[in-house]
Amino acid sequence: MIPFMKLAGSGNDFILIDNRRASIAATRLKRLAVQLCRRRWSVGADGLIVIESSSRADFKWRFFNADGSRAGFCGNGARCAARFAHVKKIARRHMVFETRVGLITAEVISSRGERVKVRMPNPKSLQLDMKIPIDGRKQTAHFVDTGVPHCVYVVDDLINADVNGLGSTTRNHRLFHPLGTNVCFINVLNTHRIRIRTYERGVEGETLACGTGSIAAVVIANKLGAVTSPVTVIPASGRPLSVSFMVEDGMYREVFLEGDARVIYDGHIRPDALD
Protein backbone atom coordinates (compact mmCIF):
# COMPACT_ATOMS: atom_id res chain seq x y z
CA MET A 1 0.00 0.00 0.00
CA ILE A 2 1.24 3.46 -0.92
CA PRO A 3 0.63 6.39 1.47
CA PHE A 4 -0.61 9.51 -0.33
CA MET A 5 -2.31 12.86 0.19
CA LYS A 6 -4.85 14.57 -2.07
CA LEU A 7 -4.60 18.36 -2.40
CA ALA A 8 -6.41 20.95 -4.49
CA GLY A 9 -5.20 24.36 -5.58
CA SER A 10 -7.95 26.66 -6.81
CA GLY A 11 -9.72 23.66 -8.35
CA ASN A 12 -6.68 21.79 -9.74
CA ASP A 13 -6.38 18.53 -7.82
CA PHE A 14 -3.24 16.46 -7.33
CA ILE A 15 -2.08 13.23 -5.73
CA LEU A 16 1.05 13.76 -3.60
CA ILE A 17 3.42 10.92 -2.66
CA ASP A 18 6.53 11.17 -0.49
CA ASN A 19 9.13 9.07 -2.28
CA ARG A 20 12.27 10.41 -0.60
CA ARG A 21 13.28 6.85 0.31
CA ALA A 22 12.87 5.81 -3.35
CA SER A 23 10.49 3.02 -2.41
CA ILE A 24 8.76 3.45 -5.79
CA ALA A 25 11.06 2.95 -8.78
CA ALA A 26 11.31 5.92 -11.15
CA THR A 27 10.47 3.64 -14.08
CA ARG A 28 7.11 2.87 -12.48
CA LEU A 29 5.95 6.47 -11.99
CA LYS A 30 4.56 7.22 -15.46
CA ARG A 31 2.30 4.18 -15.35
CA LEU A 32 1.37 4.94 -11.75
CA ALA A 33 0.24 8.43 -12.73
CA VAL A 34 -2.08 7.05 -15.41
CA GLN A 35 -3.52 4.48 -13.01
CA LEU A 36 -4.08 6.82 -10.06
CA CYS A 37 -5.38 9.86 -11.94
CA ARG A 38 -8.34 7.97 -13.48
CA ARG A 39 -11.51 9.48 -12.10
CA ARG A 40 -14.15 7.07 -10.75
CA TRP A 41 -11.81 4.09 -11.19
CA SER A 42 -9.04 5.26 -8.86
CA VAL A 43 -8.14 8.30 -6.74
CA GLY A 44 -8.68 10.69 -9.64
CA ALA A 45 -6.69 13.88 -10.21
CA ASP A 46 -5.28 16.31 -12.76
CA GLY A 47 -1.78 15.11 -11.96
CA LEU A 48 0.61 13.14 -9.77
CA ILE A 49 3.39 14.86 -7.80
CA VAL A 50 6.18 12.70 -6.40
CA ILE A 51 8.45 14.25 -3.77
CA GLU A 52 12.09 13.11 -3.77
CA SER A 53 15.29 14.01 -1.93
CA SER A 54 17.48 16.80 -3.28
CA SER A 55 21.07 17.82 -2.58
CA ARG A 56 20.34 21.36 -3.80
CA ALA A 57 17.06 22.24 -2.11
CA ASP A 58 14.52 21.18 0.50
CA PHE A 59 13.21 18.56 -1.92
CA LYS A 60 12.81 17.68 -5.59
CA TRP A 61 9.59 16.92 -7.40
CA ARG A 62 8.55 14.83 -10.37
CA PHE A 63 5.34 16.11 -11.92
CA PHE A 64 3.17 13.91 -14.14
CA ASN A 65 0.03 14.89 -16.02
CA ALA A 66 -2.98 12.61 -15.82
CA ASP A 67 -1.96 10.90 -19.07
CA GLY A 68 1.49 10.08 -17.68
CA SER A 69 3.36 12.76 -19.60
CA ARG A 70 5.92 14.95 -17.83
CA ALA A 71 5.43 18.72 -17.63
CA GLY A 72 8.20 21.23 -17.09
CA PHE A 73 6.19 23.03 -14.46
CA CYS A 74 2.75 23.49 -12.90
CA GLY A 75 1.83 26.58 -10.89
CA ASN A 76 -1.04 25.18 -8.84
CA GLY A 77 0.83 21.91 -8.46
CA ALA A 78 3.81 23.83 -7.09
CA ARG A 79 1.62 25.48 -4.48
CA CYS A 80 0.16 22.11 -3.47
CA ALA A 81 3.64 20.56 -3.30
CA ALA A 82 4.73 23.37 -0.96
CA ARG A 83 1.70 22.86 1.28
CA PHE A 84 2.31 19.10 1.33
CA ALA A 85 5.98 19.60 2.24
CA HIS A 86 5.02 21.94 5.06
CA VAL A 87 2.32 19.63 6.44
CA LYS A 88 4.67 16.65 6.28
CA LYS A 89 7.49 18.68 7.90
CA ILE A 90 9.69 18.15 4.88
CA ALA A 91 10.24 21.91 4.69
CA ARG A 92 9.56 25.07 6.69
CA ARG A 93 7.12 27.80 5.62
CA HIS A 94 9.77 29.34 3.35
CA MET A 95 11.21 26.69 1.05
CA VAL A 96 13.08 25.97 -2.15
CA PHE A 97 12.45 22.94 -4.33
CA GLU A 98 13.94 21.50 -7.48
CA THR A 99 11.96 21.19 -10.74
CA ARG A 100 12.71 20.65 -14.41
CA VAL A 101 12.69 24.45 -14.95
CA GLY A 102 15.07 25.14 -12.07
CA LEU A 103 14.82 25.98 -8.38
CA ILE A 104 11.45 27.33 -7.24
CA THR A 105 10.83 29.31 -4.04
CA ALA A 106 7.54 29.07 -2.17
CA GLU A 107 5.98 30.39 1.01
CA VAL A 108 3.09 29.02 3.07
CA ILE A 109 1.71 32.39 4.11
CA SER A 110 -1.53 32.04 6.09
CA SER A 111 -1.85 31.08 9.75
CA ARG A 112 -3.72 27.85 8.93
CA GLY A 113 -1.39 27.16 6.00
CA GLU A 114 -3.99 26.94 3.26
CA ARG A 115 -2.65 29.87 1.20
CA VAL A 116 0.62 29.47 -0.65
CA LYS A 117 2.67 31.90 -2.72
CA VAL A 118 5.13 30.67 -5.35
CA ARG A 119 7.71 32.55 -7.37
CA MET A 120 7.16 31.44 -10.94
CA PRO A 121 9.67 31.00 -13.76
CA ASN A 122 10.22 34.15 -15.81
CA PRO A 123 7.93 34.11 -18.89
CA LYS A 124 9.66 33.73 -22.25
CA SER A 125 9.01 33.31 -25.99
CA LEU A 126 6.22 35.90 -25.95
CA GLN A 127 4.52 36.44 -29.29
CA LEU A 128 1.48 38.61 -29.98
CA ASP A 129 -1.06 38.43 -32.78
CA MET A 130 -0.33 34.99 -34.14
CA LYS A 131 -2.56 33.94 -37.03
CA ILE A 132 -3.52 30.28 -36.59
CA PRO A 133 -5.24 28.66 -39.60
CA ILE A 134 -8.14 26.55 -38.35
CA ASP A 135 -11.02 25.28 -40.51
CA GLY A 136 -10.31 27.78 -43.28
CA ARG A 137 -10.14 30.78 -40.93
CA LYS A 138 -7.22 32.51 -39.29
CA GLN A 139 -7.71 32.72 -35.54
CA THR A 140 -5.86 35.53 -33.75
CA ALA A 141 -4.04 34.31 -30.68
CA HIS A 142 -1.03 35.09 -28.51
CA PHE A 143 1.68 32.85 -27.11
CA VAL A 144 3.95 32.75 -24.07
CA ASP A 145 5.92 30.10 -22.20
CA THR A 146 5.40 30.38 -18.43
CA GLY A 147 7.17 27.16 -17.54
CA VAL A 148 4.95 25.36 -20.04
CA PRO A 149 3.65 26.75 -23.36
CA HIS A 150 0.34 28.61 -23.51
CA CYS A 151 -1.65 29.85 -26.47
CA VAL A 152 -4.06 32.61 -25.38
CA TYR A 153 -7.32 33.69 -27.02
CA VAL A 154 -8.89 36.97 -25.84
CA VAL A 155 -12.68 36.63 -26.07
CA ASP A 156 -15.74 38.74 -25.27
CA ASP A 157 -18.01 35.81 -24.38
CA LEU A 158 -16.13 33.46 -22.10
CA ILE A 159 -19.19 31.44 -21.09
CA ASN A 160 -19.84 30.27 -24.65
CA ALA A 161 -16.21 29.97 -25.72
CA ASP A 162 -15.46 26.67 -27.49
CA VAL A 163 -12.88 25.62 -24.91
CA ASN A 164 -12.83 21.90 -25.67
CA GLY A 165 -13.31 22.15 -29.45
CA LEU A 166 -11.03 25.05 -30.36
CA GLY A 167 -8.83 24.18 -27.40
CA SER A 168 -8.18 20.65 -28.64
CA THR A 169 -7.58 21.77 -32.23
CA THR A 170 -5.14 24.46 -31.13
CA ARG A 171 -3.41 22.19 -28.62
CA ASN A 172 -2.60 19.74 -31.45
CA HIS A 173 -1.96 22.31 -34.19
CA ARG A 174 1.14 21.81 -36.34
CA LEU A 175 2.42 25.25 -35.27
CA PHE A 176 3.00 23.84 -31.79
CA HIS A 177 4.46 20.45 -32.73
CA PRO A 178 5.89 18.31 -31.38
CA LEU A 179 5.02 19.09 -27.76
CA GLY A 180 1.71 20.88 -28.24
CA THR A 181 0.42 23.72 -26.07
CA ASN A 182 -2.06 24.56 -23.34
CA VAL A 183 -4.83 26.85 -24.54
CA CYS A 184 -6.32 29.72 -22.51
CA PHE A 185 -9.47 31.72 -23.19
CA ILE A 186 -9.54 35.02 -21.28
CA ASN A 187 -11.89 37.91 -20.72
CA VAL A 188 -10.49 41.12 -19.20
CA LEU A 189 -12.96 42.62 -16.71
CA ASN A 190 -10.87 45.64 -15.68
CA THR A 191 -7.23 46.64 -15.15
CA HIS A 192 -6.88 44.30 -12.16
CA ARG A 193 -9.27 41.45 -12.91
CA ILE A 194 -9.43 38.67 -15.51
CA ARG A 195 -11.62 35.63 -16.05
CA ILE A 196 -10.09 32.54 -17.63
CA ARG A 197 -10.88 29.05 -18.89
CA THR A 198 -8.10 26.63 -19.81
CA TYR A 199 -7.73 23.54 -21.97
CA GLU A 200 -4.74 21.61 -20.59
CA ARG A 201 -2.57 19.21 -22.53
CA GLY A 202 -1.86 16.07 -20.56
CA VAL A 203 -5.38 16.24 -19.13
CA GLU A 204 -6.78 16.69 -22.65
CA GLY A 205 -9.72 18.74 -21.54
CA GLU A 206 -10.78 21.79 -19.58
CA THR A 207 -9.58 22.01 -16.00
CA LEU A 208 -11.06 24.09 -13.20
CA ALA A 209 -7.88 26.15 -12.90
CA CYS A 210 -4.36 26.47 -14.28
CA GLY A 211 -1.60 28.36 -12.49
CA THR A 212 0.80 28.73 -15.42
CA GLY A 213 -2.22 29.62 -17.57
CA SER A 214 -3.14 32.39 -15.13
CA ILE A 215 0.37 33.80 -15.48
CA ALA A 216 0.10 33.56 -19.27
CA ALA A 217 -3.25 35.38 -19.21
CA VAL A 218 -1.87 38.22 -17.11
CA VAL A 219 1.33 38.60 -19.14
CA ILE A 220 -0.54 38.71 -22.44
CA ALA A 221 -3.19 41.10 -21.09
CA ASN A 222 -0.47 43.37 -19.71
CA LYS A 223 1.43 43.30 -22.99
CA LEU A 224 -1.80 44.33 -24.73
CA GLY A 225 -2.14 47.26 -22.31
CA ALA A 226 -5.24 45.90 -20.57
CA VAL A 227 -4.03 45.14 -17.01
CA THR A 228 -1.42 46.20 -14.46
CA SER A 229 0.00 44.35 -11.44
CA PRO A 230 -1.44 42.93 -9.24
CA VAL A 231 -4.17 41.02 -11.07
CA THR A 232 -6.90 38.77 -9.69
CA VAL A 233 -7.50 35.83 -12.02
CA ILE A 234 -10.84 34.01 -11.72
CA PRO A 235 -10.70 30.48 -13.18
CA ALA A 236 -13.60 28.12 -13.92
CA SER A 237 -13.60 26.96 -10.28
CA GLY A 238 -14.42 30.48 -9.10
CA ARG A 239 -11.55 30.33 -6.58
CA PRO A 240 -9.40 33.38 -7.39
CA LEU A 241 -5.67 33.42 -7.89
CA SER A 242 -3.51 36.49 -7.37
CA VAL A 243 -0.71 37.30 -9.84
CA SER A 244 1.91 40.01 -9.35
CA PHE A 245 4.90 40.91 -11.50
CA MET A 246 7.49 43.52 -12.48
CA VAL A 247 8.58 44.58 -15.96
CA GLU A 248 12.24 45.50 -16.47
CA ASP A 249 13.62 46.33 -19.91
CA GLY A 250 10.62 44.66 -21.48
CA MET A 251 11.17 41.44 -19.53
CA TYR A 252 8.79 40.04 -16.90
CA ARG A 253 10.46 39.50 -13.51
CA GLU A 254 9.42 38.75 -9.94
CA VAL A 255 6.34 36.85 -11.09
CA PHE A 256 4.34 35.44 -8.17
CA LEU A 257 1.26 33.23 -8.00
CA GLU A 258 -0.79 33.09 -4.80
CA GLY A 259 -3.92 31.14 -3.91
CA ASP A 260 -5.42 28.37 -1.84
CA ALA A 261 -3.78 24.95 -1.54
CA ARG A 262 -6.16 22.77 0.44
CA VAL A 263 -5.50 19.37 1.92
CA ILE A 264 -8.51 17.25 0.94
CA TYR A 265 -7.64 13.89 2.50
CA ASP A 266 -4.89 11.36 2.98
CA GLY A 267 -4.79 7.60 3.02
CA HIS A 268 -3.27 4.52 1.40
CA ILE A 269 -3.52 3.37 -2.19
CA ARG A 270 -4.54 -0.27 -2.34
CA PRO A 271 -3.87 -2.67 -5.24
CA ASP A 272 -7.47 -2.38 -6.49
CA ALA A 273 -6.80 1.28 -7.40
CA LEU A 274 -4.15 0.14 -9.87
CA ASP A 275 -6.23 -2.49 -11.64
Q: Which residues are catalytic?
A: 74, 210
DSSP 60-89: EEEEEETTS-B-S--HHHHHHHHHHHHHTT
Our CA dihedral for 204, 205, 209, 210, rounded to 10 degrees, sits at 30
Pairing of the two strands 193-200 and 231-234: parallel
